[in-house]
A and B are shown apart, each in its own frame.
Chain A
Amino acid sequence: MREIVFHLLVVVCVLGGTLSMAGALIWLERRLLALWQDRYGPNRVGPFGLFQPVADAIKIFTKEDWIPPFADRAVFVAAPAVIVVTVLMSFAVVPFAPGVWVADLNVGLLFLFGMSSLGAYSLILAGWASNNKYSLIGGLRAAAQTISYEVFMGLSLMGVVMLAGSFSLRAIVEAQQGVWFCVTQFPALVVFLIAGLAETHRLPFDMPEAESELVAGFHSEYSGMKFGMFFVGEYLAITLLSALATVLFFGGWLGPVLPPLVWFVLKTGALICGIILLRASLPRLRFDQLMSLGWKILLPVALLNIVVTGAIALLGK
């Protein structure tokens, strides 16, 4: 009985924690961007503008929720839900601290790949269902981008799986007791972060929305809370990417003195700030540059990493 209660508590905390994290990130990103661009950012609502996300949420909930008459209604409504659901599902296999996880699947990493590839449907379907040429181009770009970068993301993590000897995220964290994988698997870390950014279609890889050429890309026709779902989904995806990098490369909850959960949150937070700094400092790539970066540089690096890691693992036996 106590175990069931504990499990339900973890589920509720993960759900509440990640969703409020998404809200907090919207504030954090705007403040940090302002800091790096030498301006104030939102500082009017509450202390340091902390209640800005609340004001935003009230606004977005009370806006008119309009579905264009030319859109494919059912798909148009379903598309924004897909991205939020798949990202939240992914958090189910993330181990936050010893014993604190929703599920410890022995195919945990593959489950994550599955969820991230299903997340691609959200953008593609939104682009198609909007029945608008800018949305369609955004959707097409999203499809090509996510399918290609999923390949590099998967391949880059195979070295980690080889060293840990398991697809389970708990086992991967425990395998980093001695040295973190960010040292032994450095090329994999670089490929993973680039591919992860492309998967979450953040700047410098936000070609699917590219407001300067495609209005707002796949979500041009969305308004109100349906647009809000895409927005929240993006920030959830950033949190997921940082949490995954922490688990896979930076030793998860491992660390001296402080309790494990604090270490996990600190590492994830630092990575999130890094991702925001990337947005503040890099311009958007061109779409063909994105594709050639992936297939001509990231793919060979990831494959080479697998071969070298495999050879060293074999020699070490």
Chain B
Amino acid sequence: MTVIFYLSAIIAVAATFLAITRTNAVHALLYLAVSLLAVAMVLFTLGAPFAAALEIVIYAGAIVVLFVFVVMMLNQGTATIRRERAYLTPSMWIVPGLLTLVLFAELVCVVAWVPEAAGAPAEAIGPKAVGMALFGPYAIAVEMASLLLLAGLIGAFHLGRRDEE
């Protein structure tokens, strides 16, 4: 399990890096999908099969597909790729690199000083336990998320409606 964990973690990091640096939008999205699949593997090895399955169904299977859908409609040619290439100059990397370095240092500190945070749970947490937690102690968070989705739904309906006159 540990070997699989580190292998998928490496794939996730590498795929994310490639997703950022690709100039072709569809290729970048494909690397993003690979990265999400690798994260699902990481969740699975950590003992969260339910979260892993939802990661694949919702992120890799629906949201990234929608991104690809939109990018396909935009029909970007070689001009966009050339512009993208111009964006990625070395000086562009300084500030984001520094910010990420700070985050990375924080992560290292957390892992080093709080050893319990890094360990995997003794056994896998099944779908039933996740459901009990979501509709028990976390019910308010679920309700708030559903309100947010409702607002989005109404907004989409309003934008997509034809004027009837």
> CB within 8 Å of B: which residues of A?
72, 75, 105-107, 110-111, 113-114, 116-118, 120-121, 124-125, 127-128, 136, 139-140, 143-144, 146-147, 150, 154, 167
Given that A106-B49, A107-B53 are known contacts, is A143 also in contact with B65, CB under 8 Å in the complex?
Answer: yes
Q: Could you give 10 example pairs across A and B, Cβ below 8 Å?
A: A75-B27, A105-B49, A106-B124, A106-B126, A110-B57, A111-B53, A114-B53, A117-B57, A128-B26, A140-B73
A118 touches B61 (CB 8 A): yes
Given that A114-B56, A124-B69 are known contacts, is A167 also in contact with B62, CB under 8 Å in the complex?
Answer: no
Min CB distance, A317 to chain B, in Å?
A: 15
B60 touches A118 (CB 8 A): yes
Distance, CA A8 to CA B57, complexed state (A): 28
Given that A75-B30, A117-B60, A118-B60 are known contacts, is A110 also in contact with B69, CB under 8 Å in the complex?
Answer: no
Of B24, B26, B52, B56, which one neighbours A117 at CB under 8 angstroms? B56
Distance, CA A113 to CA B62, complexed state (A): 11
Scan B61-76; emit 1 where CB is below 8 A from any A CB, else 0.
1100110110011010
Smallest Cβ-Cβ distance to A143: which chain B residue: B69
Min CB distance, A142 to chain B, in Å?
A: 10
Distance, CA A72 to CA B22, complexed state (A): 14
Smallest Cβ-Cβ distance to B60: which chain A residue: A118
* B150 partner residues in chain A, CB cutoff 8 A: none
B145 contacts the other chain (CB 8 A): no
The 7 A-B pairs at the shortest CB distance, nearest first, are namely A117-B61, A110-B53, A114-B56, A107-B53, A143-B69, A107-B49, A114-B57
B50 touches A140 (CB 8 A): no
B53 touches A124 (CB 8 A): no
Q: Which of A107, A110, A144, A146 has the most CB of B within 10 A?
A: A107
Min CB distance, B86 to chain A, in Å?
A: 21
B62 touches A110 (CB 8 A): no
B61 touches A150 (CB 8 A): yes
Q: A136-B72, A146-B65 are in contact. List 18 more A-B contacts (CB 8 A).
A: A72-B26, A107-B49, A107-B52, A111-B53, A114-B61, A117-B56, A121-B33, A121-B65, A127-B72, A128-B68, A136-B75, A140-B69, A140-B73, A143-B72, A144-B69, A147-B66, A147-B69, A150-B62
Smallest Cβ-Cβ distance to A109: which chain B residue: B53
Distance, CA A147 to CA B24, complexed state (A): 23
Q: Which of B30, B65, B72 has the most CB of A within 10 A?
A: B65
Of A75, A116, A146, A150, which one neighbours B26 at CB under 8 angstroms? A75
Distance, CA A110 to CA B68, complexed state (A): 23
* A125 partner residues in chain B, CB cutoff 8 A: 26, 30, 68
Min CB distance, A171 to chain B, in Å?
A: 12
B127 contacts the other chain (CB 8 A): yes
Given that A75-B30, A107-B127 are known contacts, is A113 also in contact with B72, CB under 8 Å in the complex?
Answer: no
Smallest Cβ-Cβ distance to A116: which chain B residue: B61
Min CB distance, A170 to chain B, in Å?
A: 14
Distance, CA A144 to CA B69, complexed state (A): 8
Smallest Cβ-Cβ distance to A78: which chain B residue: B30
B72 touches A106 (CB 8 A): no
B88 contacts the other chain (CB 8 A): no
A143 touches B126 (CB 8 A): no
A110 touches B50 (CB 8 A): yes
B142 contacts the other chain (CB 8 A): no
Min CB distance, A136 to chain B, in Å?
A: 7
Distance, CA A136 to CA B74, complexed state (A): 12
Smallest Cβ-Cβ distance to A129: which chain B residue: B26
Min CB distance, A154 to chain B, in Å?
A: 8
Of A72, A118, A144, which one neighbours B56 at CB under 8 angstroms? A118
Min CB distance, A137 to chain B, in Å?
A: 10
Smallest Cβ-Cβ distance to B75: which chain A residue: A136
* B126 partner residues in chain A, CB cutoff 8 A: 106-107
A106 touches B127 (CB 8 A): yes
